[in-house]
Amino acid sequence: MAIVTAENLAKSYPVALKDPGLAGTLRHFLARKYKQIEAVQGVTFQIAPGEIVGFLGPNGAGKTTTLKMLTGLIHPTAGRVEVAGHVPFRRESDFLKKITLVMGNKQQLIWDLPAADSFAINGAVYEIPDAELKKRIGELAEMLGLGGKLTQPVRKLSLGERMKAELLAALLHRPQVLFLDEPTLGLDVNAQMAVRDFLREYNRRYGATILLTSHYMADITALAERVMLIHQGSLIYDGGLQGLLERFAPYREVRLELERPVSREALERHGEVAELDAHQARLLLRREVLVEKVAQLLSELPVADLEVREPPVEEVIGRVFESGAKVETASSH
């Protein structure tokens, strides 16, 4: 049984139009005209309890608007949405205790106070008994590696430590569903890895459902087996990461180590040159001619080493969005 359901979910906004100049300003004031912007169009999907799903799309694709409808922050223009047995935009108390929304560019912690003080406020809001609150803070702080940082003013924490503290604050009430919008935004590589490890362990320990948006593909590949792609407000793919590669990457990546430099023209006779740097090259070869082309590369070029692999997921997704073509979803979710 799905814990998150969206059926033909849509959101449009009226945007006022204004011509330039004084005459345009007067018309705008006296007889304003509007244009409807379709932020989300007919999005349908289901998420099972305990599932981690990556939600991907370029800026302005509709990811954050969808998350805001799922959490009840905005009312959908059309369609049906249900989360943990509730209609989100009713904002019922029981619903709010079952979900959390973490946005990498927003914070809930009070800047000049220790994080522990903000945790105490959250504990009171969610009516968590003091003994239980202390236990949860200790458990989550250990999982996040925050140690003695909770008594320092938030402004003195590093960006990575602040993000961990934000996660701790958002999870004190032990929500069933986590909506995470760019939770590793701006973090260094080590902090990103720490957040990923924590989310993986939190999901394993508590069976929480996670819908995750991120511009860092390493977040998605490390955590989610299923991805949904949204483009210009429409869902264009819903399925496994491997299925994404098979459907939208009709080529394989061939990495070459050369004994001596060769020209780009010499490589282009064999396939699309993605990278070329002195003794290193990366080609994209169509799957159906892969064996033939690899044999030609080995016989015609000074190849010291050769490796064949799937192209990077972020490159595949970039090409999907560049094409802009709507396709059928790839799963029955």
DSSP three-state, residue 4 = strand
Distance of CA 69 to the CA centre of its chain: 16
Q: Residue length, the chain?
A: 333
Strand-pair category, 226-231 with 52-56: parallel
What is the pLDDT tens value at each position of the chain, 333 positions in all? 899 999 999 999 988 888 888 888 888 888 888 888 999 999 999 999 999 999 998 888 899 999 999 999 999 999 999 999 999 999 999 999 999 999 887 888 999 999 999 999 999 999 999 999 999 999 999 999 887 889 999 999 998 899 999 999 999 999 999 999 988 888 888 888 999 999 999 999 999 999 999 888 889 989 999 999 998 899 999 999 888 877 777 888 899 999 999 999 999 989 889 889 888 999 989 888 999 999 999 999 999 999 998 887 777 787 777 765 444 444 444
Integer Cα distance of 114 and 108 in angstroms: 12
In three state form, how does the secondary structure of 10-78 look?
A: EEEEEEEECCCHHHHHHHHHHCCEEEEEEEEEEEEEEECCCCEEEEECCCCCCHHHHHHHHCCCCCCCE
Name the domain count of the chain.
2
Q: Record the pTM.
A: 0.81
Tell which of 191, 213, 245 closes a domain: 245
CATH of the domain at 33: 3.40.50.300
Integer Cα distance of 163 and 179 in angstroms: 15
Which pLDDT value is given to residue 324? 57
DSSP three-state, residue 128 = coil
> Within this chain, do residues 183 and 282 fall inside the same structural domain, yes or no?
no
Catalogue the long-range contacts made by 283-286 (C-beta closer than 8 Å, 24 or more residues apart): 283/253, 283/254, 283/256, 284/251, 284/252, 284/253, 284/254, 284/311, 285/251, 285/252, 285/254, 286/250, 286/251
Integer Cα distance of 306 and 312 in angstroms: 17
Integer Cα distance of 171 and 155 in angstroms: 21
Tell which of 245, 262, 292 closes a domain: 245
> Within this chain, do residues 11 and 93 fall inside the same structural domain, yes or no?
yes
> Within this chain, do residues 201 and 295 fall inside the same structural domain, yes or no?
no
Residue the block writes with tokens 């819903």 = 238
DSSP three-state, residue 97 = coil
> Within this chain, do residues 181 and 290 fall inside the same structural domain, yes or no?
no
> Which residue range is the domain that position 270 belongs to?
250-309
Q: How far apart are the first and last CA of the chain?
A: 11
Integer Cα distance of 113 and 97 in angstroms: 25
Domain membership flag for residue 148: no
> Within this chain, do residues 300 and 183 fall inside the same structural domain, yes or no?
no
Q: Of 110, 94, 105, 39, which Cα lies nearest the Cα of 69?
A: 39
CA angle 216, 308, 249 (to 5 degrees): 55
> Within this chain, do residues 232 and 257 fall inside the same structural domain, yes or no?
no
Which pLDDT value is given to residue 330? 44
Domain membership flag for residue 258: yes
Integer Cα distance of 330 and 333 in angstroms: 9
DSSP 250: -
Domain membership flag for residue 236: yes
Integer Cα distance of 289 and 309 in angstroms: 15
